[in-house]
């Protein structure tokens, strides 16, 4: 085999080996995580860490990626599912060039995400959390339309919530929360994880499909408002006010 034929045969294999090696390094190094903490709404933090330099550079271009890229895509998916009462706010993006990492945070709110009702007998608030918004595919493309990155949350974290691992989450104030974690083990170029953190007072926790239900004790003001004695007291005060007002009007008429 002459030298030219040898180069022609070997070059494609060398290129393929180089690309495979580069992909393997990227897959081992990079990580993708989502954490959603439940309060009055759902606070979502998306982290992309240890990205390769090309991807990171593209993500720092506001025309390609910004603080609204992911929440806007979630909103579109919710609208597609017929969920109109979903909103986001407080979006923010942070870049760390030292570790080639990107962090996006925002709040999801609305009755199609999180709602509750009062149980007057138990004085508990019963919450119903819809985590269906996680089933979204976020394709990030460059200005020329080239694919930069695909975050396929539907694939990574689409398992029913009852199959997620139950664990404990310790917040910065040392409070303990019930949490559910999904780790995706397939080939992605990432190491995807998703954690759902419930309020520290959450009890009677149930999971089914995309839904989580739990209870939280009503606050002092809410308990006072719901207490039948409080309602009775308000009625008595109103009645007394009416009687006093009538008596005052009667005295005014007599004196005139």
Query: CB under 8 Å to 15, separation ≥6 — which residues?
Result: none
Whole-number pLDDT of residue 21: 33
Query: Which two tokens mark 178?
Result: 């019930």
Whole-number pLDDT of residue 9: 53
**pTM score, whole prediction:** 0.76
Burial of 190 (0-12, 13-18, 19+ CB in 10 A): buried
The proportion of the chain whose per-residue pLDDT surpasses 90, expressed as a percent, equals 65
Whole-number pLDDT of residue 252: 61
Whole-number pLDDT of residue 238: 59
Whole-number pLDDT of residue 22: 34
Q: What is the pLDDT along the chain (256 residues), one digit of tens a residue?
A: 454 554 455 444 443 333 333 333 333 468 999 999 999 899 999 999 999 999 999 999 999 999 999 999 999 999 999 999 999 999 999 999 999 999 999 999 999 999 999 998 889 999 999 999 999 999 999 988 899 999 999 999 999 999 999 999 998 888 899 999 999 988 777 889 999 999 999 999 999 999 999 999 987 555 445 555 444 445 555 556 566 566 666 666 656 5
| Residues 91, 103 contacting (CB under 8 angstroms) | no
């Amino acid at each position: 085999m002459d030298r030219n034929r040898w180069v022609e045969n070997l070059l494609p294999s060398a290129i393929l080996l180089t690309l495979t090696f580069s992909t393997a390094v990227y897959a081992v190094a990079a990580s993708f995580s989502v954490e959603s903490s439940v309060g009055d709404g759902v606070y979502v933090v998306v982290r992309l860490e240890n990205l390769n330099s090309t991807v990171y550079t593209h993500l720092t271009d506001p025309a390609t990626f910004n603080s609204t890229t992911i929440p806007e895509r979630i909103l579109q998916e919710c609208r597609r599912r017929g969920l109109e009462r979903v909103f986001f706010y407080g979006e923010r993006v942070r870049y760390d060039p030292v570790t080639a990492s990107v962090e996006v945070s925002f709040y999801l709110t609305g009755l199609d995400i999180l709602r509750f009702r009062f149980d007057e007998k138990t004085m508990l608030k019963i919450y119903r959390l819809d985590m269906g918004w996680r089933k979204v595919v976020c394709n990030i493309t460059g200005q020329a339309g080239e694919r930069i990155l695909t975050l396929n949350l539907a694939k990574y974290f689409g398992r029913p919530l009852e199959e997620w691992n139950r664990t404990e989450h310790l917040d910065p104030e040392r409070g303990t929360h019930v949490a559910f974690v999904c780790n995706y083990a397939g080939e992605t170029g990432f190491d995807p994880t998703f954690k759902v953190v419930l309020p520290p007072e959450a009890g009677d926790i149930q999971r089914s499909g995309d839904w989580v239900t739990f209870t939280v004790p009503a606050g002092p003001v809410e308990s006072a408002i719901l207490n039948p004695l409080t309602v009775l007291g308000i009625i008595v005060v109103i009645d007394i006010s009416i009687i006093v007002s009538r008596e005052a009007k009667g005295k005014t008429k007599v004196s005139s």
